Amino acid sequence: MRRKDLILTAVLLFMIGITAGTLIALYTINEELAPLAEVRTTEITRSEQPFISDEDLERADARFLFRKVAEEVTPTVVYIETIVPIEGTMPNDEYHEFEENEESIWDRIIPRRARTVGSGVLITKDGYILTNYHVIEGAVEKGLRVVLNDKREYQAKVVGYDPSTDLAVIKINGSDLPYVTVGDSESIDVGEWVLAIGNPFRLRSTVTAGIVSALSRDVQIIDDQMRIESFIQTDAAINKGNSGGALVNTSGQLIGINTAIASQSGSYQGYGFAVPSNLAIKVARDLIEYGEVRRALLGVSIAGVDYNRAIEKGMETVRGVEIMSVSPEGAASEAGVETGDVVLQVNGVNVNEANELQQQVAVLSPGEIVELKILRNGRELQKNVTLKMLEPREIPEVAASEESLEMQEIPEDREGVMYREFDLGFRVMGIAKPEDADTYDIYVDRVYKYTEAWNRGLREDQQIIKIGEEKVEDLSRLEELMRRNLNDNGSVVLEIRNEENVKGFIELKRN
């Protein structure tokens, strides 16, 4: 009996051990039971020096140079597929895939979903990926799938995002992954060769070449009150699906995150835009370390100096950014910056547009000291400003103008011409048709800067043809459809025609 008891006891202990081990294993791999990830140090590789000198580049054959860069960088660019819920009418564009089956009873019980596609760039060997916010916006739980260039697939998690720069960081669990070297976007010049790498129209790992067409572009495409736009413009072909992909120089260094195209057709027409790498990496570091962007605040409102203003201020050349107002107890105020000062340089970098100054401040962190070279009453001064932190309730530096601060009076109606103003930031003018005095051609008469209408791309002299699918030929009908769509959907879609007789669609959302 004793021998039998010993055997039974040993078997029982063995079974208990197996059970305990299984429970521990399940606990450590179940994301819901163990949501906390191991904290590890991660590093982003940066380089301010080109891998290949200018002299070597001049001697190199571009064909072999581009091939080498493509071989080095393509493995670091990933394909991102995002599952998002469909609410209301399904969008009709290249970003989405839908089942075309007739609606079933299950569609009423289980919400329908769409797949959006985009690109991202691996910036660390342990799986941090930099991409655009609009690529992963609205993703459902466990709705992010990342495919590497070698076809390995991973589920990804959102680390953080920043709508004001349209950037986001996601994370996959991996080690010794290929990652990009980040270059200095301040060192690039107009005319330099660049390559854009991404996944346009679901075509994986596509490489296109072009040049830097312009710097510091503000094209009013980011839909955020605190937006920062100082894009690199390139003529390298960028299409839908390239968003979040890499813009690299001829040394294979990341100098931008491809974000948008300027197109009337929705496809490439010669103009693409990328967030500069210096700004993108600052945002990425903050998101990885803090889960949010710690934005430095100068505490001023600003506007670029134009020719007339330069003459008024007695300036010999048109340059700099004027301080329109200074926040009391703000960083600039405490450093002695005054209204009317013209900022010529930020940390030794010339600034001639409001968005250029914004970018120079945006790459810095609260607590850092920024050196401003300013012009005051004909004399150049230097002010050292200790930057403060932007709190959610505070208003950041934005290009100011009188028309952006207050609406103008609505002109009086007269025979055959009527006006209406909408709180989304625009005014329309209805002109009676000669053949029928009761119907009108409706044109955008005024768009106020930095409002919803302005940020979405509505401009003066565009003709409003339809609201959704309904034609509008009088102002009362326009008002009715605007009100109904905003109340029912929170947004309204305008079909417009510009002066070149090209049609397009602009969606305006209620603030």
The catalytically annotated residue of 205, 230, 243, 251 is 243
Q: Are the C-beta atoms of residues 132 and 260 closer than 8 Å to each other?
A: no
Residue among 288, 293, 160 at smallest CA distance from 226: 293
| 310 burial via Cβ count (<10 Å: 0-12, 13-18, 19+) | middle
The crossing angle, in degrees rounded to 10, of helices 277-290 and 354-362 is: 40
The catalytically annotated residue of 119, 164, 166, 205 is 166
For the chain, the C-alpha Rg in angstroms (whole number) is: 27
Specify the amino acid at residue 293: V
Q: Are the C-beta atoms of residues 175 and 182 closer than 8 Å to each other?
A: no
Q: Is 489 strand, coil or helix?
A: helix
Strands 388-389 and 296-297: antiparallel
**Structure-token pair, residue 138:** 């609205």
**Partner residues linked to 401 by β-bridges:** none
Q: If you search the block for the tokens 């919803």, which residue do you land on?
A: 452
Q: Which residues contact 93 (CB under 8 A, 6 or more apart)?
A: 240, 266
Q: Is 53 a catalytic residue?
A: no
Measured CA to CA, the distance from residue 281 to residue 277 in angstroms comes to: 6
Q: Is 166 a catalytic residue?
A: yes
The catalytically annotated residue of 119, 134, 251, 445 is 134
Specify the amino acid at residue 449: K
Q: If you search the block for the tokens 């609606």, which residue do you land on?
A: 103
Q: Are the C-beta atoms of residues 77 and 204 closer than 8 Å to each other?
A: no
Q: Would you tell me how many other CB atoms lie within 10 Å of the CB of residue 453?
A: 23
Q: Is 134 a catalytic residue?
A: yes
- As annotated, the active-site residues are 134, 166, 243
